[in-house]
Amino acid sequence: MRMLHDIIAIEVDEFQPQQTNGGIYIDFSSEKLTTGTVFAAGPGTWLDNGEYKPTTCKPGDRVIFSKAASEGGEEIEYNGKKYLVIHEKDIFGIDK
């Protein structure tokens, strides 16, 4: 799949409840930040001032984005897998 402009397709991490040493399960799915792996990234976009801004993330990058971006993005299915499609501006950072 090839994305256009500054559009990014992300395979979102599935959150699993974690068990403490005492046997209590903690569910972090309500956290404000979400993580995932970039599956496809567009080449970039033209800014209002006429400059071209290439995207900074690439396929394989682990990214952090807000839950609001995941709620505002589009979910798509491609080759049997689900991806979240958002604009690059909704990504807070790349995990190095």
CATH number at 79 reads: 2.30.33.40
Q: Per the domain annotation, does 2 fall within a domain? A: no
> What count of Cα atoms within 13 Å lies in the side-chain half-sphere of residue 13?
18
pLDDT value, residue 25: 60
Q: Per the domain annotation, does 1 fall within a domain? A: no
Q: Per the domain annotation, does 83 fall within a domain? A: yes
pLDDT value, residue 22: 73
Q: Per the domain annotation, does 26 fall within a domain? A: yes
Structural domains of the chain, count? 1
Cα–Cα distance list, 13 to 40, 48, 65, 81 (Å):
15, 34, 11, 12
pLDDT value, residue 8: 95
pLDDT value, residue 7: 94
Global pTM reads 0.76
Which residue range forms the structural domain that includes residue 89?
Answer: 7-95
pLDDT value, residue 61: 96
Q: Per the domain annotation, does 28 fall within a domain? A: yes
Pair 15, 34: CB distance under 8 Å? no
pLDDT value, residue 32: 53
Residues in the chain with pLDDT < 70? 15-20, 25-33, 70
Q: Per the domain annotation, does 67 fall within a domain? A: yes
In the chain, how many H helices and how many E strands? 1, 10
Q: Which DSSP state fits 86?
A: E
